[in-house]
Chains A and B, each alone.
Chain A
Amino acid sequence: MKTGEKMALEMLNASVVILSEGNNPKLLNHDFLARNKIVPEDWHVRDVVITPPFSNIVYENDVQFVVELNKLQIRAGNPEHIDCDRDLPKMVMDYLRVLPHVSYLGVGINFVFVLKDSSHDDIRKNFLHDGPWLDKEGNISKVAIEFNYLNVEPQFNLKIDSHTSGILFSVNYHQNFKPDQEKQRMQYISEMGKLKIRFLEFARHLPIVWEQE
């Protein structure tokens, strides 16, 4: 990244992860999702694995459902194919409504953004002081930083890491819920779009020069 050049964050994917007790991974298949109107019937499955403890369905539009006994994960792998602010949380909420007997707990709302044409050098220059620790073991080859904000609700976790395509920002907003807090859980999931904007506002304060989306 050249000094003073403004860069834009681009969203790579978004996901919702729900901790739970008593998921039944064997239920997961396209017929189940389509019949219960969680996904449209005309979506095409690209990959599927169904076992008693773990199931995974990936659609051609990169939407992915992963069910384990203690976790449900739904991910939009390509935000160009699906509205991550509206359609992704709706799918998640529809799934939860279909299986109300499972004890759902905490919910994580995740985004991965990339700052293209940047590298680990930019992380090092912008986040670390210069000093001997950067070259004592030979020049440092990779830098990754994790920020955890655990004393707020929702908890906020951010990992900044480099990748071939640029700097990756892995964002997690984690909120704990009790099983019977269904209304609050649904409300939290429905506000996925607001959390995305909240992160973009936060990112303005990071010591990297860029322009927001």
Chain B
Amino acid sequence: MSSSTAVINDISPSVPTFFNVPSKAEKVDLFYKDLLHNTALNLSEVSISSIGTSRDGTRADRISFSEENLAELTGQWRRFAVSEQIDRIRNCCSPATGNAIADRLGNLRQYLCEEEGPKIDISLDSLQAMHVFIEQIPDVRLPQISLTAEGDVYLRWKSEPDRLFSIHFLDDRRVRFAIFYPNPRHEQMINRHSGYETVDTVLTSADKICSVRDWISG
């Protein structure tokens, strides 16, 4: 060989544990290959083993772990993602309220784990929607927090007799909500409104019905 550089490059792969960061081109290649792989998994069109055999050897090498391993890793990733989301909620409003909300979510998470087993956790999508909602009200008051059987987050604010606003985060963008408040002309009568909205518009809609923002903040 006439080039010493070529010699070095040829030799390096024979030592698998030399420190070596993939080049940018290799990173992009890895990213898109994995994106394709994830898409295939999400569509449930093919099994992991069939992906391995249908691709070239380099890809199959990297999918040598079993479906069980993958499920375990996905579970680990989800647990960490839920913890991170709870931390984000902790930091998006006043420290006292943020800490109280995060602590309550932590306790509910523990109960859920004890009741349903370690594989069951709070819905990550629901937590993401809750984060988007709470972020809109920096001085939010502490709500009552509960979980549905599916692990979705459900918040309720009760203020004065007969006033209630509740919101159920169905996934990362859709919510159901309910508002109860006294009829201004007929005090014995309780008005009841409910709806199905996206998380970024529900507060505006609820405010139009009655000033919900005033009840749940301050």
Contact = CB atoms under 8 A, between A and B. Distances in A.
Interface of A is mostly: strand
A51 B18 contact: no
A142 B1 CA distance: 13
A32 B69 contact: no
Interface string B1-26: 01011011001001111111110000
A174 B77 CA distance: 30
A53 B17 CA distance: 18
Contact of B30 (A22, A53, A102): A53
B80 A53 contact: no
A145 B72 CA distance: 44
Interface residue range, chain B: 35 or more
B19 A24 contact: no
A207 interface: no
Nearest to A15: B19
B65 A144 contact: no
B69 A22 contact: yes
Given A22-B73, A24-B73, A101-B73, A170 B33 contact: no
Contact of B19 (A31, A51, A75, A107): A75
A70 B62 contact: yes
B65 A51 contact: no
A99 B79 CA distance: 12
Contact of B35 (A15, A21, A52, A174): A52
A52 B76 CA distance: 14
A167 interface: no
A69 interface: yes
B31 A51 contact: yes
Interface residues of A, number: 48
Nearest to B75: A101
Contacts of B110: none
A56 B21 contact: yes
Interface of A: 13, 15, 17-19, 21-22, 24, 26-27, 31-32, 35, 49, 51-54, 56, 64, 66, 68-70, 73, 75, 99, 101-103, 106-110, 137, 141-144, 146, 148, 157, 159, 161, 170, 172, 174
The 9 closest A-B pairs by CB, nearest first: A108-B17, A53-B30, A22-B65, A53-B34, A15-B19, A17-B17, A52-B34, A142-B4, A51-B31
Interface of B: 2, 4-5, 7-8, 11, 14-22, 27, 30-31, 33-35, 38, 61-62, 64-65, 69-70, 72-73, 76-77, 80, 83-84, 87
25 contacts: A15-B19, A19-B16, A21-B65, A22-B73, A27-B80, A32-B80, A35-B83, A51-B27, A51-B30, A52-B35, A53-B33, A53-B34, A53-B62, A54-B27, A73-B20, A101-B76, A102-B73, A108-B17, A110-B17, A110-B19, A137-B2, A157-B15, A170-B18, A172-B17, A174-B15
